Structure 1
Amino acid sequence: MRSRSRVWGGTAAVVLGGLLAAGCGGGAAERNGTADDGAGKAVSGEYPVSVTDCKGAGTTFTKAPERIVTSNASSLELLLRLGAGDKVTGTGFPPGKGTLPGALDAEAQKVKVLSRAVIPKEKLLGSGADLYIDTFAGMSMGGGMGDTPSEEEFQAAGIKHIYLKSTACAAQSRSAVTDLSAVEADITALGRVTGTSGKAKELVAAMKEKVGAVQRAVGGAARSARPTYFFFDYDAGTKQPTVTCNRQVANAVITLAGARNVFADCDGDYKQVGWEDVIAKNPDWIQLGIRNRGSEAANKEAFDEAEKWLKSNSATKGLKAVEEGHFLRIGSEQTTIAGVENADTVETIAKALYPGKVG
């Protein structure tokens, strides 16, 4: 099966980003008699708020959504971190028990599971949601799950449909992605849409602080002296590797950690290559990209499988990183999908590649 992050549809939908707060004179919070509660969970936000899609077309929110459905665990986690979890009425691709940190896990387990995979079209349209947050574009994957609703069908059902722009628009980016500004913009925009701007600012500030510390520690290293790095997307299949190119969030994570993505010369988000291309790059480090299996034990088993494959395959066992055991066991989601944990992954990679330099 193709990785779902590579399944794209034709119709452009509204994407987080390009926020425009309308109005003049006093702030909307002042006009509406509302304010942030100081803990990041605003009792209301400044409305109306507009967001745009990849082509600049926009939609407007005149108030905070009250019934949100998320396409998968990534957008669900962002809402939980923002303090808007009580507005989530359902999700697809739910997080396994214990896979989210701390109290977020207990909150996540209370969310109704509409599907273990892509939410079927009729179930989504009949969910009663007023907002659907889609991590990826066009997720029609067959298997009896139904087609992705058209934008006209979303409108008829009273559902506003938005994407995480740093993921959904990645392939259309005009330049290489080397920082987390697009991810931070997603978090900021989602905070504005849900009336949780205070918490969004806190999350973004913490990300900037963590990445800034890494940059101060390793950012001075000459590019030619930085270790080369290959993100091995094991779940995308081993017959023909799917690599992360320079428009993907992973390229920014790798770059900020002080490494060189060996496929940074590939314009786009993902690309299928041959193992001969990976051999020619001969990376210093390999990240075992595994999607969360729902438990620590299952994740370990998957990481073990990926490492064993690299060590036993005739095409890869001679790679420098394989011979030296330079493997990083870091999940795919926190590397390739927009989220607070992108900053954590930057730090984790940097600690492995520059031992003693990163605190």
Structure 2
Amino acid sequence: MRSRVWWGTTAVVLGGLLVAGCGDGSGDGDKASPAAGKAAADDRPVTVTDCTGARTTFSAAPEKIVTSNASSLELLLRLGAGDKVIGTGFPPGKGTLPGDLDAQAQQVKVLSQTVIPKEKLLGSGADLYIDTFANMSMGGGMGDAPTEEEFKAAGIKHIYLKSTACASMAKSAVTDLSAVEADITSLGEITATSAKAEQLVEGMKKKVDAVRNAVGGTPESKRPTYFFFDFDAGTKQPMAVCNRQIANAVISQAGARNVFADCDGDYKQVGWEDVIAENPDWIQLGVRNRGSEAANRKAFDEAQKWLESNSATKGLKAVKEGHFLRIGSEQTTIAGVENADTVERIAKTLYPGKVG
């Protein structure tokens, strides 16, 4: 299993279950999903499936939702279903969400700063639990994650976000944001907020389409190469984002070439010699949100300084030319509306003057 740092803590990310079918992110992976099609706000029952084909049916919209972390919480807030959330794990730091979302997020009960302990989750009174990842190590003596039988006995329906939970199981490279859009659509159907979900998805498509129209004609060989430096995953051995990860789609849609796009899977540990061999044109400083602008800036500074002072990396083209992008990890690697914003930010940096 592979450890991933989330807000200063560790969570194990494995391929697994998902919301609304197991699409591959290539644009047509959801056609066979039983949940395909847009349900009206009162169109019930709503049925979604997981990667194994197991079905979860909602005869009514859930009233008491617990989210595994800030990612699924943010999506529910954006959908207008935040009043249904009774608790979360891995809460967003104050000021980390934009606008009114931040104030709403701070009102949500924090069940754990990390993974919610099994007994607390089962006793939360929730009727729905949304996992961003397929498997999370409970750690810290908190015991194992609940089994599906235990969720059922507690009256809790258990679903996952497809675009992250099923990333490693995708059948082909993820090069667009269709899996993320499907997650938003499914959550809209489940929570009776389909109209808002459609609005969010259309907004994402509009931004990405504008970037594609501006830089999509650039030949593959002319596109700048790009390395996502996952600073929080450790510097001894870099963690590469591979072609099944959302970040690969974000990078591709922005008109860049992920230097590890030939790696099948979501993440893979590589060596610095591999990064040196690729000699990327641009490097994104992948830093997780520290909870404040000042703390984030300090973390970005540390990541950049490490690259500039390390003997193995200071000679890289991107480092010598100062080609760094300071964009947080979450909006690049985790499903959310801000994936489209990140596409736009990367494209504006790599293609100055072309993207409005």
> 1:154-303 to 2 correspondence within 5 Å?
154-303=151-300
Tell me the amino acid that sits aligned with residue 81 of structure 2: A
Corresponding position of 2:325: 328
SS in 2 for 1:144: coil
Corresponding position of 1:2: 3
> 1:1-40 to 2 correspondence within 5 Å?
2-3=3-4, 7-8=12-13, 12-13=16-17, 15-17=19-21, 18-20=33-35
Q: Does the Cα contact within 8 Å between 1:93 and 1:117 map onto a contact in 2?
A: yes
Measure the CA separation in 1 of the matches of 2:79 and 2:36: 20
Q: Which protein has the larger Cα radius of gyration, Structure 1 or Structure 2?
A: 1
Q: Aligned pair in 2 of structure 1 residues 324, 193: CA closer, same or farther (>3 Å)? A: same
Q: Does the Cα contact within 8 Å between 1:14 and 1:59 map onto a contact in 2?
A: no
Measure the CA separation in 2 of the matches of 1:205 and 1:13: 26
Measure the CA separation in 1 of the matches of 2:141 and 2:266: 28
Measure the CA separation in 2 of the matches of 1:202 and 1:358: 23
Corresponding position of 1:40: none
Greater alpha carbon shift after TM alignment, 147-156 vs 109-118: 147-156
Q: Deviations over 1:193-235 (max 9, x none)?
A: 0000000000000000000000000000000000000000011
Corresponding position of 1:117: 114
Return the offset for 1:56: 2.2
Q: Does the Cα contact within 8 Å between 2:287 and 2:299 map onto a contact in 1?
A: yes
Return the offset for 1:145: 2.9
5+ residue gaps, structure 1? 30-43
Return the offset for 1:54: 1.3
SS in 2 for 1:276: helix
Counterpart check, 1:318 vs 2:331? no
Return the offset for 1:167: 0.5
Measure the CA separation in 1 of the matches of 2:143 and 2:236: 28
Q: Aligned pair in 2 of structure 1 residues 8, 349: CA closer, same or farther (>3 Å)? A: closer
Give the CA RMSD over aligned residues.
1.8
Aligned partner of 1:129 among 115, 126, 150? 126
Measure the CA separation in 2 of the matches of 1:144 and 1:128: 23
Return the offset for 1:70: 0.3
Tell me the amino acid that sits aligned with residue 19 of structure 2: V
Measure the CA separation in 2 of the matches of 1:166 and 1:21: 15
Measure the CA separation in 2 of the matches of 1:19 and 1:337: 24
Tell me the amino acid that sits aligned with residue 108 of structure 2: V
Tell me the amino acid that sits aligned with residue 287 of structure 1: Q
SS in 2 for 1:3: strand
Corresponding position of 1:95: 92
Q: Does the Cα contact within 8 Å between 1:19 and 1:189 map onto a contact in 2?
A: no
Tell me the amino acid that sits aligned with residue 138 of structure 1: N
Q: Does the Cα contact within 8 Å between 1:45 and 1:196 map onto a contact in 2?
A: no
Measure the CA separation in 1 of the matches of 2:82 and 2:51: 26
Corresponding position of 2:27: none
Q: Deviations over 1:48-83 (max 9, x none)?
A: 011111122211111100000000000000000000
Measure the CA separation in 2 of the matches of 1:90 and 1:80: 13
SS in 2 for 1:191: helix
Measure the CA separation in 2 of the matches of 1:190 and 1:266: 30
Q: Does the Cα contact within 8 Å between 2:164 and 2:335 map onto a contact in 1?
A: yes
TM-score by length of 1: 0.91
Corresponding position of 1:58: 55
Q: Does the Cα contact within 8 Å between 1:14 and 1:161 map onto a contact in 2?
A: no
Tell me the amino acid that sits aligned with residue 229 of structure 1: Y
Q: Deviations over 1:287-337 (max 9, x none)?
A: 000111111111111101100110111111100000000000000000001
Q: Does the Cα contact within 8 Å between 1:52 and 1:59 map onto a contact in 2?
A: yes
Measure the CA separation in 2 of the matches of 1:321 and 1:55: 42
SS in 1 for 2:71: helix
Q: Deviations over 1:61-119 (max 9, x none)?
A: 11100000000000000000000000000000111111111111111010000001111
Return the offset for 1:16: 3.6
Q: Deviations over 1:242-265 (max 9, x none)?
A: 110000000000000000000000
5+ residue gaps, structure 2? 22-32
Corresponding position of 1:358: 355
Q: Does the Cα contact within 8 Å between 1:45 and 1:194 map onto a contact in 2?
A: no
Measure the CA separation in 1 of the matches of 2:262 and 2:108: 41
SS in 2 for 1:286: strand
SS in 1 for 2:77: helix
SS in 2 for 1:137: coil
Measure the CA separation in 2 of the matches of 1:304 and 1:333: 18
